[in-house]
Amino acid sequence: MTSSATSFPDPWPAPRALHPLDAVVEVPGSKSLSNRYLVLAALGTRPVTLKGLLRSRDTELMMAALKRLGAGCESLNDDGTTVCVTPPVHGAFHGNVTVNCGLAGTVMRFVPCLALFADGPVRFDGDEQAYARPMQPVLDGLEQLGARIEYYGERGFLPFTITPPLRGGEDSVGSAGDNGSHAAHIAIDSSASSQFISGLLLVASRLPHGCELVHTGEKLPSMPHIRMTMEDVNRAGGHIEMPQPGHWIVGPAELALPPEVVVEPDLSNAAPFLGAAMIAGGLVSVPRWPKKTAQPGGLLPALLQRMGASVSWDGKPWPAGSLVDSDSNGSNSTGFSDDAPAAATLCVIGTGVIHGLGQYDLSAAGEIAPSIAALCVLADAPTALVGIGHLRGHETNRLQALVTEIERIGGTARELADGIEITPVAKNQLQGTVIQTYADHRMATFAAMLGLVIDGIDIVNIATTRKTLPDFTGMWMGMLQAKG
């Protein structure tokens, strides 16, 4: 079933689940992987064909940005999920252009790093909401590499222009302060977002002598996303080591992804659908769930199992009480045997209970916090999700937004210094109302989850889900209407 989110009224009446679910949900490609592969392909030395690429607002913004900088992005099939990326001639990106970042964190924090290798200044702008998203750490890093930043508003935020160290060449890039003969040294505080580190790691191999990158803050959110970046760069021929947490050494290298790369499904985007099985009861299956993955969403099966779901992969029970481990390459491993398939169907069955988590550190997968929060509203005990203070700097202040909307429906929640505490109330105390989404796709899916069991939930701007799920409403209705 396909339908456009824009064809629905605003606010959109969230549908109730009228019976237990029995659905197979095909989740589109990972946004995080799609945009990393697009950047690495543009940094490479040969054309790369990406298969299973997510087509959503964030990836459209990334491809438009790369085209502005001189790379080619050509769709090879009808739905646009197979794309050939061609690097710019001689690896030099175009300057004297403006890049629209929209509200895409990966665009506003990854693409400015490409401006180091442009042949002229590059201006960056975006949506009004993007002006509130922090940018200072990655821009500090670029200044340490010799770039100049001109701001048109508040320092450390969009809009701004980046002038590379030397127009028309990269020989001087990264030479500031190192006499041009040693690895560049970059020190930034990436406490607000792992994307600052990832943006610099993606381009560091192109520096003449590589670089040493140091995180100066006390906490570093979403290490799985950084491990994902490391794995992707190394797959492209780079060499990144992390001798200790918060310290990376990147050797100079010519990057080239394999000629063909397949993008995994977006496991974090599977969270609302898998969570729906726990809320409504029944079964939701997601095909092509990888045995090993660098995605933070790889933590979902063990987490949902801990909350009371019955979980299986490739027809086998998920290892009881297990947490996903990280292997030496930074990938999350399910713990299944080496001879198990590379990917198989993940099944989640609602058992009629949703357990609270007590205090739970979700720093490794903060992006799934809204979906987990929806489950916690309906759980049998309180939950304090901690390690996610950085969510205040996402598309909106997600912690504040979650507390506001949970209280709006009659629930109880409060912000913590580093997270959110949710105390369940009786379901008959929860009431339907209009839920705001704050131009945040994950707040929209959070509201849809609650709408499965609360009458009268209306969601403002459901179309914001196009950021990472171009047809969320069609997928959601399809899940509810499926009959096995």
Which residues carry out catalysis?
A: 367
Omega of the bond leading into 159 within 30 degrees of 0 (cis): yes
Omega of the bond leading into 9 within 30 degrees of 0 (cis): no
d(CA 103, CA 98): 15
Given a contact cutoff of 8 angstroms between Cβ atoms, the answer to whether 3 and 26 are in contact is no
First to last CA, the chain: 14
* 21 HSE (CA, 13 A, CB side): 30
How many beta carbons lie within 10 A of that of residue 435, not counting itself? 26
d(CA 166, CA 401): 43
Collapse the DSSP code of 227 into the 3-class scheme (helix H, G, I; strand E, B; otherwise coil) and give the result: helix
d(CA 82, CA 70): 20
For Cα atoms 70, 395, 397, give the angle at the middle one, nearest 5 degrees.
Answer: 155
DSSP state of 288: E
Given a contact cutoff of 8 angstroms between Cβ atoms, the answer to whether 167 and 116 are in contact is no
Collapse the DSSP code of 423 into the 3-class scheme (helix H, G, I; strand E, B; otherwise coil) and give the result: strand
d(CA 165, CA 175): 9
| C-alpha 9 chain-centroid distance | 27
d(CA 129, CA 22): 38
Q: Are strands 21-24 and 282-290 parallel, antiparallel or unpaired?
A: parallel
d(CA 346, CA 353): 20
d(CA 85, CA 242): 29
Helix axis angle for 441-451 and 271-280, nearest 10°, is 20
Length, in residues, of the chain: 484
d(CA 149, CA 122): 10
Contacts 24+ apart (CB under 8 A), 71-79: 71/41, 71/42, 72/47, 73/38, 76/49, 79/55
Q: Where are the beta strands (DSSP E) in 56-134?
A: 72-75, 82-86, 97-100, 122-125
Core vs surface per residue 121-143: b (16+ CB within 10 A) or e: bbbbbbbeebeebbbbbbbbbbe
Collapse the DSSP code of 5 into the 3-class scheme (helix H, G, I; strand E, B; otherwise coil) and give the result: helix
Closest by Cα among 472, 23, 20 to 287:
23
